[in-house]
Structure formats: structure tokens, C-alpha cells
A and B are shown apart, each in its own frame.
Chain A
Amino acid sequence: MGTVEYIQHHLTNNSVGEGFWTFHLDTIIVSVMLGMLIIGVAMRLGKQLETGTPGGFQNFVESILDFVSVNVRDAFPGHNPLIAPLALTIFLWVWLMNFMDLIPVDLFPYLFQLITGDSHAYLKIVPTTDLNTTLAMSLTVFCLIVFYSIKIKGVWGYTKMFLFHPFGKFFVPVNIIMTLIEEVSKPLSLALRLFGNLFAGELVFLLIALIGGTLAVGAAALFWAPLQVILDLAWLIFHLLVITLQAFIFMVLTIVYLGMAHEEAH
């Protein structure tokens, strides 16, 4: 198997359906399972909540909650009970989906191929390297932005924002285009940033995996295999930072965008 085929094979989703009605099964199953993991752990924790002296795991979860609520308080004006759970969901879910990137690139595809018996079965286990996932989240956030903008500013206030912003009332056509770009760029930048970072990270992992996989033949493996281990470890440690940072950025920008939607028209 050549280098290009190896990479392409790893970056292809296991899907069913045709055209638009294609479903990326691996993306859906992995992300839903991670979501269920969050719910399951939360429910287990919910049964043994303690007010007085929380144990280790409850402390850990509480510190995440505290972290999220501090961010919400800092970046979000006013009060909306939806924002904090939304931000928490984004942070936990995105982080867990990103974390799939740190699992050795060949482990799950290999196991999957063993189980199905098909040596060419596709499997891509990082849902955030699928643009559908990141775009799904950012579009949901976009819907909320539009909903709350209209709810807070009113239909006329929201329209006024398009007409008279940012250049005043003498540049209405320019204003409409500018504001439209500004609004549409919010979900697009959210989705593409996360997707791009994770996709690139996955690609680097694949390239590192190739060092030992295809370049090493015979005695050369003595040199290439340790190099692969060292590079893999370095990138893994760096990527641990990246996945947390990306989850954090997605969360904070969501809070900031929704905060902007909640500001009264001026």
C-alpha cells in the first residue's frame, strides 16, 4: 500500500447512502457514544452527589463546571440559563471527540478490519475531523445567535443592524454586505477552525505513523522506529494542548457570539 493510499484510506469515512443522503456512520456512532459517555458518567455522578465533602471525581467535575461558569460570567452580559449548559456541552463533547485524535491512528481501523474481515474497511474515529460535525455545532450556535438577536433586538432592531452597521445610513448596500459577511463568518470560522486544526493534527499523526510503517525496511527499522516513537510522543503532548485549546476556543467564541446577540441595539 502506498503512502498516498494509506493517508487517503485513513481520511475516508465509513459511510452509507448516496449523494447528499450519505451518512458517515463512524462519525455519528463515535460522537453519539461520546455524548452518551458524558450522560452516563453524569448520571452515575448524580446518584452520589455530596453537598458537604465532595470526593475526588466530583471535585474534578465541579472544577470544570466552575471553569465554564467563570468564562460565561466574564464573556456573557445579562442572564440566560441556556448559555452555561451549552458552553459546558461544547467543551466536554468537543474535547472528547478531539481526544479520539490521540488514540494511535491504526489501532481502531486495524481492529475494525479484523472484526469485519474486510481489509479495506474504512474507519475514521475522530468526529471533529469531519466537517459535518463541526458545522453541525456551529450552525446550531448560529441558529441560536439569530434567534436571540431577534428576540432581544426585535425584528426591526435586527434589520437595522444589517442596514446601518458599520458605516451609517448613507452606505446601506455596503452595510448589508458587510454585516452579512460578518454574521456568516461566525459559524464558518467556528467550524473551519476546529475542523482544520484537528484534520491537520490527524494528518501529522498519519505522516509520523508512516515513518515506521512504510519507510522502515529491514535494518533501517532500527533507526526509523525509535524516531517514530519520539516524534509521536512529542506531537501527542503538543496535540493534547491543541485539542484542549480548540475545545476552549469553540466554547468561548460561542459565548462571545451569543453575548453579542444579547446586546441591545445601539
Chain B
Amino acid sequence: MNINATLLIQMIAFMLLIWFVNRVLWGPLSKLMEERQKKITDGLSAAEKGKHELELAEKKAKDVLKDAKHQAQNILGQAEKRGSEIVEDAKVKATEEAGRIKASAQAEIEQEVSRAREDLRKEVASIAVSGAEKILRKEIDATKHNDMLETLVKSI
């Protein structure tokens, strides 16, 4: 048991060593470990967040799909309706067209009939005139008997 000046040296050495250990060992390493801890915590929370986001996205995708299906059904229904409308429309138009064509054909026929009747009348008149001429064996003065001829023509 001999306490002496070695004590002082050892105290100084101890204090210096504390300072050095804090500076080169504890400081950097504990900082590093803290950083790593933070990194791991961040990573875990990011993974959790990612999982959550994935779930959300999946749900959203399902919704979108459902919506799309619904829309497709809608469009299909509309298209069918439109198709039947078009067919209906075409039918109506065709009927109208047919009516129109029929009407115009009838009109033409009537016109033709009346023209034929006119022609026939003129023919008959001229035949009648020539017949009368022949009957009378005498030339009829056109200007003299015009009135009579015209009355005749009209009466036929």
C-alpha cells in the first residue's frame, strides 16, 4: 500500500482516455448505430406504408374494373338499342320510299292514260273526219266547218 505520484499520472491518463474514447470510439460508433436504427425504423415504416398503398391500389383497381364492366354493359345496351332504332328507322323510311315510288308510278300511269286517251280522241276525230269526208265524198272546207268539227271533236 504505497500511494504516491503515480496516482496523479494515472488520473490524468484516465481522464485523457475518457476523452479519447468518447472522441474516437463512443462518438462515431454510437452515432452510426443510431443512424442504422433510424434507417431500419424508416425502412419498416416505409414497407408498412407500401403494403398499405398496395392494398389501396388493389382496391382501386378492383373498383376501376367494376366500373369498366358496368360501363361496357351500358355501352352494349345502348348499342343494341341504337341498332334496333336504326333498323326501325330504315323500315319506316323504306315504307315511305315504297309509298312514294308507288304514288309517282301511279301518277305517271294516269298521265300516260290521259295522254293515250287524248291521242285516241284525236285519232278518232281524224278518223271520223276522214270517214265523214268519205261519206260526203266531198271535201269539207276546213275553215267553213271548223266550228262544227270542233264540236264534234269535243263530243267524242
Contact = CB atoms under 8 A, between A and B. Distances in A.
Interface string B22-39: 101111111011011001
Interface in A115-144: 127, 130-133, 135-137, 139-140
Contact of B25 (A20, A42, A137): A42
Given A32-B13, A42-B21, A140-B15, A132 B7 contact: yes
A89 B22 CA distance: 8
A69 B1 CA distance: 34
B4 to A, nearest CB: 4
A225 B36 CA distance: 53
A65 B20 contact: no
A21 B5 contact: yes
Interface residues of B, number: 32
Contact of A23 (B4, B15, B22): B4
Contacts of B3: 131-132, 135
B24 A42 contact: yes
Contacts of A88: 21, 25-26
A51 interface: yes
Interface in A67-109: 69, 82, 84-86, 88-89, 92-93
Contacts of B24: 39, 42-43, 46
B4 A22 contact: yes
Given A32-B13, A86-B18, A135-B7, A38 B25 contact: yes
B33 A85 contact: no
Contacts of B18: 82, 85-86, 89
Contacts of B16: 35
A49 to B, nearest CB: 6
Nearest to A69: B30
B133 to A, nearest CB: 135
Chain B: interface secondary structure?
helix
Contacts of B4: 15, 17, 19-24, 132
Chain A: interface secondary structure?
helix
Contact of B6 (A24, A52, A85): A24
A19 B5 CA distance: 9
A13 B10 CA distance: 15
A62 interface: yes
A61 interface: yes
Nearest to B39: A51
B6 A62 contact: no
A65 B26 contact: yes
Contacts of B11: 136-137, 139-140
Contacts of A140: 11, 14-15
Contacts of A132: 3-4, 6-7, 10
Contact of A84 (B1, B5, B30, B39): B30
A22 B11 CA distance: 15
B151 interface: no
Given A49-B32, A84-B26, A28 B6 contact: yes
Contact of A89 (B6, B21, B30): B21
Given A21-B4, A61-B29, A65-B33, A93 B17 contact: yes
A39 B21 contact: yes
A227 B11 CA distance: 41
Interface of B: 1-11, 13-18, 20-22, 24-30, 32-33, 35-36, 39
| 7 nearest A-B pairs in the assembled complex, by CB-CB distance | A136-B10, A85-B22, A42-B25, A132-B6, A85-B26, A22-B4, A136-B11
Given A39-B21, A82-B18, A89-B22, 14 more contacts: A20-B4, A22-B5, A27-B10, A28-B6, A28-B9, A31-B13, A39-B20, A39-B25, A45-B29, A46-B25, A51-B36, A61-B29, A136-B14, A139-B7
